[in-house]
């Protein structure tokens, strides 16, 4: 399986949160006070070298009690200290509470420095199945066309490692069909996980497969309106969005499947990979449609994704409204 195909299967269907810190309040030690001063004033080279040596000592010390101090250093103003602290936490895998370590490392995947993102990904891979919640963030890094290649290589390796650990952990438990509740065999588990990242018995697998195929076929048949760049869409509102994005030189993907939480599959109308922004055009007014809209918006919110919502009332001023909302996210 190639990289992109694997990423859909390996990173899809997981919820995550890039917020939270495991560090409980601790006494004001000289080192903690030095870090606070460093954040306010910047850091001189002498101080940085001292902290580098301290991180190396903590990482090599094989002492789980070092986690709070390393977590504190992950918030340093120095990118060098942040990446080394992340690497130090990775060395403590098996010695510290994995959920606590993942809670520190996952936000670093959004760090402003590429090497900090790289080292955070490597460290997350050391925590195996406990880092499952980081898979969506790793997926986004891998799919970002602006990301450094060396970061992507580390992200890919970490994703494989975590995914395999999750599969091993899941296979060791008795599994039941998500649809009918019967116990599934190992073959049924592997087949349904590969196709849907959910557990189905063979009978329910076939039913779900047919439902998905029929839905996908219906969606494709409804794409009869052509935008200026040749993209076929389902509504005039979506055509206007395509034209605005194309005129502004903004790269977009239209109607690609995106697994988001616990195997629940959604199809975002638009994804802007260079901005990591999703756009939904809510074009109907029925009760069922509004219920689905609210559920979908909640999924985006739970995932921490940036979503722009557009409506039929925006059509006369689509360019103005869309560009204004995009500007608010920058």
Q: Where in the chain is the domain with CATH 1.25.10?
A: 3-169
Cα separations in angstroms, 310 against 63, 151, 174, 275, 302? 52, 34, 44, 17, 20
Least confident of 206-210, 214-218, 319-323: 214-218
Q: Is pTM beyond 0.95 here?
A: no
Least confident of 46-55, 56-65, 185-194: 185-194
Half-sphere exposure for 292 (CA within 13 Å, toward CB): 15
Which carries the bigger pLDDT value, residue 186 or residue 56?
A: 56
Q: Looking at residues 156-170, what average pLDDT do you find?
A: 85
pLDDT band at 289 (very low <50, low <70, confident <90, very high): confident
The architecture (CATH level 2) of 224-329 comes to 3-Layer(aba) Sandwich (3.40)
- Of the candidates 82, 96, 171, 84, the one whose C-alpha atom is nearest the C-alpha of residue 126 is 96
pLDDT band at 169 (very low <50, low <70, confident <90, very high): confident
Percent of the chain with pLDDT over 90: 36
For residue 262, give every residue at least 6 positions away whose Cβ sits within 8 Å of its Cβ, in sequence order, or none: 13, 14, 15, 198
Q: Where in the chain is the domain with CATH 3.40.960.10?
A: 224-329
3-169 CATH pick, 2.40.160, 3.40.50, 1.10.10, 1.25.10? 1.25.10
In degrees, rounded to 5, the angle at the alpha carbon of residue 256 between the alpha carbons of residues 250 and 260 is 110
Least confident of 95-109, 245-259, 312-326: 245-259
């Amino acid at each position: 399986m190639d990289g992109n195909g694997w990423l859909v299967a390996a990173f899809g269907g997981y919820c995550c949160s890039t917020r939270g810190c495991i560090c409980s309040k601790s006494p004001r030690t000289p080192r903690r006070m030095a870090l606070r001063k460093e954040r306010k004033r910047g850091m001189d080279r002498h101080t940085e070298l001292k902290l580098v040596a301290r991180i190396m000592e903590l990482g090599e010390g094989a002492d789980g009690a070092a986690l709070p101090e390393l977590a504190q250093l992950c918030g340093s103003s120095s990118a060098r200290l942040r990446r080394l602290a992340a690497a130090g936490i990775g060395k403590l895998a098996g010695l510290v509470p994995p959920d606590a370590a993942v809670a520190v490392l996952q936000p670093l995947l959004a760090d402003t420095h590429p090497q900090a993102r790289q080292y955070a990904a490597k460290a997350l891979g050391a925590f195996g199945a406990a880092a499952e919640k980081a898979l969506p963030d790793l997926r986004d890094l891998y799919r970002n066309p602006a990301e450094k290649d060396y970061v992507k290589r580390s992200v890919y390796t970490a994703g494989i490692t975590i995914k395999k650990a999750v599969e091993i952990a899941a296979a060791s438990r008795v599994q039941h069909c998500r649809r009918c509740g019967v116990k599934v065999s190992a073959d049924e588990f592997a087949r349904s996980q590969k196709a849907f990242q959910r557990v189905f018995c063979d009978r329910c697998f076939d039913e779900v497969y047919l439902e998905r195929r029929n839905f996908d076929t219906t969606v494709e048949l409804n794409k009869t309106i052509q935008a200026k760049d040749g993209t076929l869409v389902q509504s005039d509102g979506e055509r206007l969005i395509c034209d605005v994005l194309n005129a502004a030189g903004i790269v977009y993907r239209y109607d690609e499947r995106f697994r988001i939480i616990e195997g629940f599959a959604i199809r975002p109308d638009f994804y802007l990979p260079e901005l990591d922004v999703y756009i939904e055009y809510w074009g109907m007014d029925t009760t069922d449609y509004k219920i689905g809209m609210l559920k979908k918006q909640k999924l985006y919110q739970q995932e921490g994704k940036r979503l722009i919502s557009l409506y039929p009332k925006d059509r006369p001023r689509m360019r103005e409204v869309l560009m204004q909302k995009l500007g608010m996210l920058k």
